[in-house]
């Protein structure tokens, strides 16, 4: 395809065309998620079932700027054969898609990086919108120079326009915004404990960076849904934010926005009610931000059951009619499918009674929604017959531990003094990689985690020092009560040997990777917190003054349920890849995804593993996916059968969603591979884009 026509085709797609299908054949990969509809589908066919076995590495590009602990989860985009991406060191790069050679790079100077970048053109100018932490920059795609007249002094500052003191906000971009005409529509990550910024959805003018509309996910007086909160909640709660991304129906002018839980995420005594529009799939008029319809997936969430994935637009055959639908996956392992225009569910949703909370002040919702079809893509209730049998010792340990846990399925409120099983775990079910959709068949490909986590509540410790108190309130949920989380988050035990005071303070203020920023902490609190983290024990700090808003109870942390050898304490599969026909709601196939190389060497293969990053699907008949945490593989499966057709060992894990595109008549598959997701068993940090092609 000629270089110019690629841009024009995209422009045509994005602004003019009233296409019946949401996906238009392109040799590029012009958007995060592949296209506005979030299909992660490519109509390219050069690489197909017959030749994928011969795929080999074509080039690698290492940005070389990864900070320690740096993550590289970006899904790049390709426009006119040029690959654009953010890098772990918070730069924007443009590469020749055929060779991986650097064309230009621009260093933002920020210290936080998201999972992708957004492209916009009016046919003349080509802009990249790149989010780094609280800022969004607009960069000229041709020259790599930022536009100085964009936003406030060359950038949008997401801490503004929230009707709260900008100096006390913490919003940072994980997933890039989406484009509708000349609007850049964006959410952001906020803190999940109080204080937390509002999760407003905002649309900015792509040329000027000026705010064009805002949708309040926590309604103000007079707005729809206000009655689902206590009266003043909008002034002191926060979150209900979109961190996982959105999809746009360009033809209808509707943006689909899934949101996360309200803050504080595990104790809702000061937000009694259903808490609209937290945990909600919103259909908003993309031009004005007005609500068209909504569906709340979890009422009064006290489990951090965010909608974790961007939605996917699909056209299905339903009751003999073609229906334009939107599919939304969840951490629970559900797929909800709605008529895109009016929000009518295509398969029945049942509201089932769920147990009340036993924690003082907490009022759990009486019912929660369960879709009757498709069946969940992750297991729902952990029972004794599902415990690990990896070794007799591990099994015995799991049986003993299991007796101490409460395991009753979904939506069981956490208790004080006893751990409750969360299955599938806090990281799904589905996660941020999203799903792929083949528009020619209506089959949805979704990868899932399938391990158990546990947690409980405790009385907030009041008498502790300011540093420790703050640590326990804000940090312990991830880093563990004693600073060694032992699982998904970095240990802080020896932080003083690795980092200066200033670096630790900056990490806390700005956040990085999956860690949110805490810029709203008062300076004195920050000083005490840094002191506490550096010393491991609080010194000379004044006792915390409990504000009346401070929650009485808090959460004891995200505990992955691992056996003493560090493998999941439930029986495999620990991770899966699923193909679900959205026309019928039936499964086409389901397979374990990933292995532990050490276990595979002992003969325990095909266990599946935790996985982060999504699949793509091609007209060549293939599903490509990396995502697996431990085996560092990129794999290609037959999209009709789930049969493994090709795999390649990479230097690092590809905890990212791949892309595919064609330049100069050659099809490439590219994925970001980096030093591994989990703190344990990780390869060194840093990483590279790895490109594959036929010889």
Question: Least distance from C-beta 365 to ligand HEC, angstroms?
Answer: 24
Which of 69, 98, 68 minimizes the C-alpha distance to 82?
98
Asked if residue 379 binds ligand HEC (CB under 6 A), the reply is: no
Of 3-11, 338-346, 439-447, 514-522, the window that binds ligand HEC (rule: CB under 6 A) is 514-522
Question: Least distance from C-beta 304 to ligand HEC, angstroms?
Answer: 10
The CA distance from 394 to 388, in Å, is: 7
Question: Least distance from C-beta 335 to ligand HEC, angstroms?
Answer: 26
Cis before 140 (ω within 30): no
Identify residues 522-581 at the interface with ligand HEC (CB under 6 A): 529, 533
Which one of residues 402, 489, 596, 661 is an interface residue with ligand HEC (CB under 6 A)?
A: 489
Asked if residue 495 binds ligand HEC (CB under 6 A), the reply is: yes
Which one of residues 73, 465, 474, 510 is an interface residue with ligand HEC (CB under 6 A)?
A: 474
The CA distance from 614 to 654, in Å, is: 10
Q: Is the distance from CB of 70 to CB of 685 less than 8 angstroms?
A: yes
Which of 501, 500, 513, 489 minimizes the C-alpha distance to 90?
513
Buried b (16+ CB within 10 A) or exposed e, 158-183: bbbbbebebeebbbbbbbbbbbbeeb
Asked if residue 174 binds ligand HEC (CB under 6 A), the reply is: no
- The encoded tokens of residue 625 equal 């996916």
Which one of residues 39, 108, 170, 507 is an interface residue with ligand HEC (CB under 6 A)?
A: 507
- The encoded tokens of residue 465 equal 């020092």
Question: Least distance from C-beta 61 to ligand HEC, angstroms?
Answer: 21
Cis before 407 (ω within 30): no
Of 36-44, 239-247, 512-520, 660-668, the window that binds ligand HEC (rule: CB under 6 A) is 512-520
Question: Least distance from C-beta 114 to ligand HEC, angstroms?
Answer: 12
Of 55-63, 160-168, 501-509, 666-674, the window that binds ligand HEC (rule: CB under 6 A) is 501-509
Question: Least distance from C-beta 478 to ligand HEC, angstroms?
Answer: 3
CB 123: neighbour CB atoms within 10 A?
Answer: 12
In whole angstroms, how far apart are CA 543 and each of 459, 524, 529? 17, 13, 13
Asked if residue 189 binds ligand HEC (CB under 6 A), the reply is: no
Question: Least distance from C-beta 158 to ligand HEC, angstroms?
Answer: 18
Question: Least distance from C-beta 470 to ligand HEC, angstroms?
Answer: 7
Angle at 523 between CA 238 and CA 551, to 5 degrees: 40
Asked if residue 513 binds ligand HEC (CB under 6 A), the reply is: yes
End-to-end alpha carbon distance in the chain: 21
Side-chain-facing half-sphere of 610: CA atoms under 13 Å: 27
CB 58: neighbour CB atoms within 10 A?
Answer: 18
Of 39-47, 138-146, 490-498, 595-603, the window that binds ligand HEC (rule: CB under 6 A) is 490-498
Question: Least distance from C-beta 521 to ligand HEC, angstroms?
Answer: 7
Question: Least distance from C-beta 264 to ligand HEC, angstroms?
Answer: 11
Q: How many chain residues touch ligand HEC (CB under 6 A)?
A: 25
Q: Is the distance from CB of 260 to CB of 279 less than 8 angstroms?
A: yes
Which of 241, 260, 256, 261 minimizes the C-alpha distance to 342?
256
Residue labelled with tokens 């961007």: 310
- The encoded tokens of residue 502 equal 């200033």
358: which residues sit within 8 A by CB, 6+ positions away?
Answer: 413, 415, 416
Asked if residue 244 binds ligand HEC (CB under 6 A), the reply is: no
CB 494: neighbour CB atoms within 10 A?
Answer: 11
Question: Least distance from C-beta 337 to ligand HEC, angstroms?
Answer: 30
Q: Which C-beta is closer to ligand HEC: that of 388 or that of 507? A: 507
CB 284: neighbour CB atoms within 10 A?
Answer: 24
Cis before 374 (ω within 30): yes
Of 132-140, 362-370, 496-504, 612-620, the window that binds ligand HEC (rule: CB under 6 A) is 496-504
Asked if residue 173 binds ligand HEC (CB under 6 A), the reply is: no
385: which residues sit within 8 A by CB, 6+ positions away?
Answer: none
Question: Least distance from C-beta 242 to ligand HEC, angstroms?
Answer: 17
Asked if residue 448 binds ligand HEC (CB under 6 A), the reply is: no
The CA distance from 179 to 118, in Å, is: 8
Residue labelled with tokens 């050679």: 101
Q: Give the x/- contact pattern for ligand HEC in 65-94, rule: CB under 6 A.
A: ---xx-x-----------------------
Which of 414, 405, 410 minimizes the C-alpha distance to 387?
405
Asked if residue 119 binds ligand HEC (CB under 6 A), the reply is: no
Which one of residues 119, 411, 432, 518 is an interface residue with ligand HEC (CB under 6 A)?
A: 518
Of 249-257, 313-321, 500-508, 612-620, the window that binds ligand HEC (rule: CB under 6 A) is 500-508
Question: Least distance from C-beta 191 to ligand HEC, angstroms?
Answer: 8
Q: Which C-beta is closer to ligand HEC: that of 518 or that of 624? A: 518
Which one of residues 187, 376, 490, 620 is an interface residue with ligand HEC (CB under 6 A)?
A: 490
The CA distance from 117 to 130, in Å, is: 5
The CA distance from 626 to 672, in Å, is: 9
Question: Least distance from C-beta 515 to ligand HEC, angstroms?
Answer: 3
Which one of residues 141, 302, 478, 673 is an interface residue with ligand HEC (CB under 6 A)?
A: 478
Q: Is the distance from CB of 176 to CB of 114 less than 8 angstroms?
A: yes
Asked if residue 477 binds ligand HEC (CB under 6 A), the reply is: yes
Of 5-13, 361-369, 379-387, 492-500, the window that binds ligand HEC (rule: CB under 6 A) is 492-500
Q: Which C-beta is closer to ligand HEC: that of 489 or that of 646? A: 489
Asked if residue 468 binds ligand HEC (CB under 6 A), the reply is: no
Asked if residue 264 binds ligand HEC (CB under 6 A), the reply is: no
Which one of residues 115, 216, 299, 499 is an interface residue with ligand HEC (CB under 6 A)?
A: 499
Total residues found in the chain within this entry: 695
Of 253-261, 391-399, 422-430, 507-515, the window that binds ligand HEC (rule: CB under 6 A) is 507-515
Q: Give the x/- contact pattern for ligand HEC in 31-70, rule: CB under 6 A.
A: -------------------------------------xx-
Q: Which C-beta is closer to ligand HEC: that of 27 or that of 66? A: 66
Angle at 133 between CA 128 and CA 138, to 5 degrees: 20
The CA distance from 271 to 291, in Å, is: 22
CB 658: neighbour CB atoms within 10 A?
Answer: 30
Q: Is the distance from CB of 530 to CB of 505 less than 8 angstroms?
A: yes
CB 216: neighbour CB atoms within 10 A?
Answer: 21
Question: Least distance from C-beta 238 to ligand HEC, angstroms?
Answer: 14
Give the residue at shortest CB distance from ligand HEC: 513
Interface with ligand HEC (CB under 6 A): 68-69, 71, 474-475, 477-479, 489-490, 492, 495, 498-499, 504, 507-508, 512-516, 518, 529, 533
């Amino acid at each position: 395809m000629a270089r110019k026509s690629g841009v024009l085709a995209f422009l045509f797609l994005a602004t003019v065309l009233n296409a019946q299908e949401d996906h238009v054949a392109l040799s590029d990969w012009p958007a995060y998620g592949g296209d506005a509809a979030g299909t992660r589908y490519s109509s390219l066919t050069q690489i197909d079932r017959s030749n994928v076995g011969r795929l080999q590495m074509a080039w690698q590009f290492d940005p070389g700027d990864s900070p320690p602990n740096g993550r590289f989860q970006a899904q790049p985009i390709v426009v006119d054969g040029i690959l654009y991406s953010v890098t772990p060191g918070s730069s924007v790069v443009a590469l020749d898609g055929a060779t991986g050679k650097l064309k230009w790079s621009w260093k933002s100077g920020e210290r936080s990086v998201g999972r992708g970048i957004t492209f916009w053109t009016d046919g003349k100018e080509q802009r990249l919108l790149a989010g780094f932490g609280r800022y969004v920059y607009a960069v000229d795609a041709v020259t790599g120079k930022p536009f100085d007249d964009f936003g406030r002094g060359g950038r949008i500052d997401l801490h503004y326009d929230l009707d709260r003191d900008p100096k006390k906000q913490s919003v940072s971009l994980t997933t890039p915004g989406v484009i509708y005409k000349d609007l850049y529509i964006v959410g952001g990550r906020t803190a999940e404990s109080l204080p937390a910024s509002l999760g407003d959805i905002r649309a900015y003018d792509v040329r000027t960076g000026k705010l064009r509309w805002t949708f309040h996910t926590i309604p103000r007086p007079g707005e729809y849904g206000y009655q689902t909160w206590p009266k003043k909640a909008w002034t002191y709660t926060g979150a209900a934010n979109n961190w996982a991304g959105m999809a746009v129906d360009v033809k209808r002018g509707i943006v689909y926005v899934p949101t996360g839980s309200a803050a504080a995420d595990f104790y809702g005594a000061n937000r009694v009610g259903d808490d609209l529009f937290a945990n909600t799939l919103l259909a908003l008029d993309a031009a004005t931000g007005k609500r068209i319809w909504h569906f709340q997936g979890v009422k009064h969430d006290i489990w951090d059951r965010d909608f974790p994935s961007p939605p996917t637009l699909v056209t299905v055959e339903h009751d003999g009619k073609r229906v334009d639908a939107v599919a939304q996956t969840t951490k629970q392992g559900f797929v909800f499918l709605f008529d895109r225009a009016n929000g009518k569910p295509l398969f029945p949703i049942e509201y089932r009674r769920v147990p009340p909370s036993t924690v003082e002040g907490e009022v759990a919702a009486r019912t929660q929604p369960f879709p009757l079809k498709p069946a969940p893509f992750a297991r729902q209730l952990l029972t004794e017959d599902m415990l690990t049998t990896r070794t007799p010792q591990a099994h015995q340990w799991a049986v003993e531990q299991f007796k101490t846990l409460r395991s009753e399925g979904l939506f069981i409120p956490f208790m004080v003094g006893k751990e409750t099983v969360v299955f599938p775990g806090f990281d799904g079910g589905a996660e941020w990689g999203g799903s792929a959709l083949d528009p020619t068949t209506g089959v949805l490909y979704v990868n899932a985690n399938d391990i158990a986590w546990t947690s409980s509540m405790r009385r907030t410790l009041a008498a502790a020092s300011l540093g420790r108190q703050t640590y326990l309130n804000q940090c312990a949920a991830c880093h563990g009560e004693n600073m060694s989380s032992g699982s998904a988050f970095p240990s802080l035990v020896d932080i003083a040997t690795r980092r200066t005071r200033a670096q630790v303070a900056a990490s806390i203020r700005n956040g990085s990777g999956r860690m949110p920023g805490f810029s709203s902490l008062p300076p004195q609190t920050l000083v005490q917190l840094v002191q506490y983290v550096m010393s491991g024990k609080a010194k000379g700090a004044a006792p915390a003054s409990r504000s009346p808003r401070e929650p009485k109870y808090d959460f004891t942390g995200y505990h992955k349920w691992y056996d003493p050898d560090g493998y999941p304490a439930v029986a495999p599969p620990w991770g899966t890849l699923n193909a679900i026909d959205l026309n019928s709601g039936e499964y086409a196939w389901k397979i374990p995804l990933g292995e532990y190389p050490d276990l595979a060497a002992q003969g325990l293969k095909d266990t599946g593993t935790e996985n982060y990053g999504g699949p793509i699907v091609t007209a060549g008949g293939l599903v490509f996916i990396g995502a697996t945490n431990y085996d560092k593989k990129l794999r290609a499966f037959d999209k009709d059968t789930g049969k493994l057709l090709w795999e390649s060992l990479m230097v690092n894990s590809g905890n990212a969603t791949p892309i595919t595109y064609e330049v100069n008549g050659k099809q490439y598959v590219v994925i970001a591979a980096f030093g591994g997701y989990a703190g344990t068993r990780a390869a060194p940090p840093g990483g590279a884009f790895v490109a594959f092609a036929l010889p």
